[in-house]
Structure 1
């Protein structure tokens, strides 16, 4: 389903710095997921450059494994799905609505995975950027996990649940799962998704919208995220934000002349000369608008 037979698993494991044994068990799932998240940065740079974003395994391997590049959710989770499938896991896709933007009912544009181990479903997501989990989260109502001080939880919403400003009756089906993060101010919803399986062809459709539709938040701006156990970083347009596990927050602006150095130093993204020049132009164009 996910093209695992086409993946060079040894090269993938080397890229994410994983050298342990691999088996279709929970220990491997946790270790591979964490290594992937901490090694492959979230970024939209090909979208910002107006390039096509292919999701076939060979293209993903060339970009994310062969080069020191990253990708956004469709790329990250398609690659992770291929690796997990190759190892022997049962992997299914899901589509989620982002809830970090307030109470508006957003379209289903986020792609994630559900991996089943010994009959237990686990939420696996290497593509939600700096706000996402480091390791899989058990997909059970009331689940709460701590990952190096970062706390995530899952709850199930039923029909009839309303949120401020949005009547979700009929908008989302019964049994919608919600991934949440515990922050100093309390629990925050990250995204919601129904127990409806998606497939690579569905990821392709969502990818087309996010990479080309004029209303997509990835068009015309630079985005890069890097979660890890100590500090999570996000670059959106010209704003660089760092958040520590204690909630401490730092923000600064990134000008066009320092963009490529920040992408390399803070996010581990290496660009060729053509990419670097193109992204600097994107950054200058944004700076000229504000």
Structure 2
């Protein structure tokens, strides 16, 4: 289903640093997830500049594995699904609603995978940008599960009504974390923390299986619609053990896990951005794309000043 027969698995595993057995196991799943998040990049550059984000496996491999460029959730999850399929994992895809503390009803435009292994289910979320480093188990019941991964903390719990009339799951993070105050796959909001005990809902989802055709439909909206923040705005993230870098248009923010140190924020000039993408985020661009990006960022900044 996920076209794994067209996957250059050797190239992918070399890129992500996986050297273990090529068979389905929890150890392999954890290592694959961690390698993908740490070694493949996340950005909205193609949606912003071109409004065209292909999901065919050849394009994804050229872009994310060979090209050193970044993509967002539908790209990352489609590629990771092909890898899991090649390994022989049992899994299905789902789509979630990014919440980030908002009370608004937002479209289900975040892609995830649920892996079934030895009678247990594991949430794989490799395409969020500030992604979990490893899968988190779906533990039925209200208590759910709470994990810490290299300083990043998460809760995953089942809810009787995740959206009106639908049972589902929600992933939470500390409300004071570096991503607090964002929704809609990254659009800023100020609607509060969404939880009463110091935790904030990051995203929620039902277990309705999704398929590549569903990803293509949602991906078209995210890449092209004027209602999608990604179609007109630069947003880049890179999570590391203990550190998170975020570039939101011209604002670069670096945060540390646990909130023990204040975030460091710097405003950039458009011409600085290609260098920051390469040095801080490890994202490569052609000279032509770099010129296009600088011009678009300058135009966005001018429009923002004119409307202020």
Q: Same fold (TM over 0.5)?
A: yes
Q: Secondary structure at the match of 2:280?
A: helix
Distance 1:192 1:210 in 2: 18
Deviations 1:166-209 (A, max 9, x none): xx543xx02x1001113558211110101100011100000000
Show the counterpart of 1:242: 254
Distance 2:274 2:164 in 1: 46
TM-score for the superposition, normalised by structure 1: 0.93
Show the counterpart of 1:280: 294
Show the counterpart of 1:49: 49
Deviation at 1:101, TM superposition (A): 5.2
Residue 268 (structure 2) pairs with residue 269 (structure 1): no
Aligned counterparts, 1:67-82, within 5 A: 67-82=67-82
Deviation at 1:112, TM superposition (A): 0.7
Aligned counterparts, 1:181-220, within 5 A: 181-184=173-176, 186-220=198-232
Show the counterpart of 1:259: 273
Show the counterpart of 2:189: none
Deviations 1:87-126 (A, max 9, x none): 1111211010111151111111111111111121110011
Show the counterpart of 2:237: 225
Residue 303 (structure 2) pairs with residue 289 (structure 1): yes
> Is the Cα–Cα contact under 8 Å of residues 222 and 282 in structure 1 kept in the other structure?
no
Distance 1:227 1:83 in 2: 21
> Is the Cα–Cα contact under 8 Å of residues 97 and 106 in structure 1 kept in the other structure?
yes
Distance 2:135 2:124 in 1: 5
Show the counterpart of 2:146: 144
Show the counterpart of 1:13: 13
> Is the Cα–Cα contact under 8 Å of residues 70 and 76 in structure 1 kept in the other structure?
no
Show the counterpart of 1:110: 110
Aligned counterparts, 1:143-162, within 5 A: 143-159=145-161
Deviations 1:17-38 (A, max 9, x none): 2223332000000001001000
Show the counterpart of 2:132: 133
Show the counterpart of 1:180: 172
Distance 1:117 1:269 in 2: 34
> Is the Cα–Cα contact under 8 Å of residues 234 and 248 in structure 2 kept in the other structure?
yes
Deviations 1:26-62 (A, max 9, x none): 0000001001000111111111112421111111111
Distance 2:156 2:51 in 1: 35
Structure 1 residue runs without a partner (length 5+): 162-167
Aligned length: 279
TM-score for the superposition, normalised by structure 2: 0.87
**Stretch deviating more after TM superposition (180-189 or 242-251):** 180-189
Show the counterpart of 2:186: none
